[in-house]
Structure 1
Amino acid sequence: MTRKIKTVAVVGAGYMGGGIAQVLANGGMSVVIADVSKEATQHNFERLLREAGEFEQQGLFPKGTEANVKANLRAAVTIEEAVANVDFVEEAVPEIPAIKAAVFERICSAARPDAIIGTNTSTLPVHTLVPYVTNPERFLTVHFSNPAPFIPGVELVCGEATTQDVVDAVKDMLARANRSSATVADRPGFVLNRLQYVLLKEANSIVEEGIATPEDVDTIVRSTFGFRLPFFGPFAIADMAGLDVYANCFKTFESAFGERMATPELLKSLVAAGKFGTKSGEGFSGKFEPEQLAALIAYRNKAYARMAQLLDDLGPSPIARK
Structure 2
Amino acid sequence: MIERIQTVAVIGAGYMGGGIAQSLASAGFAVTIADVSAEASRAQLERLLTESQQFEDQGLFAQGSTETVRTNLRAADTIEEAVAGVDFVEEAVTEIVAVKHEVLRRVSAAARGDAIIGSNTSTIPVRVLESAVEHPERFLTVHWSNPAPFIPGVELVAGEQTDRALIPVVKEMLARAGRSSALVADVPGFVLNRLQYVLLKEAMSIVEEGIATPEDVDTIVSSTFGFRLAFFGPFAIADMAGLDVYANGFRTLGEEFGPRLATPKMLEDAVKAGRHGTKNGAGLTGNFAPEQVEALVAYRSEAYSRLAQLVRELGPSPIH
TM-score by length of 1: 0.98
Shift, 1:2, TM fit: 8.0
TM-superposition CA deviations, 1:252-272 (whole Å, max 9, x none)? 000000001010011111100
CA RMSD of aligned residues (A): 1.0
Shift, 1:77, TM fit: 1.3
Q: Decide whether the 8 Å contact of 1:2 with 1:168 is kept in 2.
A: no
> Within 1, Cα distance between the matches of 2:4 and 2:295?
36
Shift, 1:70, TM fit: 1.0
Shift, 1:64, TM fit: 2.4
Q: Decide whether the 8 Å contact of 1:95 with 1:121 is kept in 2.
A: yes
Say which SS state the counterpart of residue 279 (structure 1) adopts: helix
Say which SS state the counterpart of residue 163 (structure 1) adopts: coil
Show the counterpart of 1:19.
19
Q: Decide whether the 8 Å contact of 1:24 with 1:177 is kept in 2.
A: yes
Show the counterpart of 1:53.
53
TM-superposition CA deviations, 1:177-213 (whole Å, max 9, x none)? 0011111001111111110110011111111111111
Shift, 1:5, TM fit: 0.3
Q: Decide whether the 8 Å contact of 1:26 with 1:65 is kept in 2.
A: yes
User: Could you tell me which amino acid in structure 1 is paired with residue 293 of structure 2?
Assistant: L
User: Could you tell me which amino acid in structure 2 is paired with residue 105 of structure 1?
Assistant: R
Show the counterpart of 1:233.
233
User: Could you tell me which amino acid in structure 1 is paired with residue 216 of structure 2?
Assistant: D
Show the counterpart of 2:40.
40
Q: Does residue 134 of structure 2 align to residue 129 of structure 1?
A: no
Q: Decide whether the 8 Å contact of 2:2 with 2:114 is kept in 1.
A: no
User: Could you tell me which amino acid in structure 2 is paired with residue 70 of structure 1?
Assistant: R
Say which SS state the counterpart of residue 299 (structure 1) adopts: helix
Show the counterpart of 1:246.
246
Aligned length: 320
Q: In the TM superposition, what are the counterparts of 1:148-163 in structure 2 within 5 Å?
A: 148-163=148-163
User: 58-67 or 19-28, which moves further after superposition?
Assistant: 58-67
Q: Decide whether the 8 Å contact of 2:2 with 2:87 is kept in 1.
A: no
Identity of aligned residues (%): 68
TM-score by length of 2: 0.98
Shift, 1:282, TM fit: 1.2
User: Could you tell me which amino acid in structure 2 is paired with residue 83 of structure 1?
Assistant: V
Q: Decide whether the 8 Å contact of 1:2 with 1:165 is kept in 2.
A: no
Gapped runs of 5+ residues in structure 1? none
> Within 1, Cα distance between the matches of 2:276 and 2:204?
32
Show the counterpart of 1:192.
192
Q: Does residue 143 of structure 2 align to residue 143 of structure 1?
A: yes
User: Could you tell me which amino acid in structure 1 is paired with residue 142 of structure 2?
Assistant: V
Moved over 4 A (4+): none
Shift, 1:141, TM fit: 0.3
User: 287-296 or 7-16, which moves further after superposition?
Assistant: 287-296
Say which SS state the counterpart of residue 183 (structure 1) adopts: strand
> Within 2, Cα distance between the matches of 1:277 and 1:150?
32
> Within 1, Cα distance between the matches of 2:160 and 2:54?
42
User: Could you tell me which amino acid in structure 2 is paired with residue 76 of structure 1?
Assistant: A
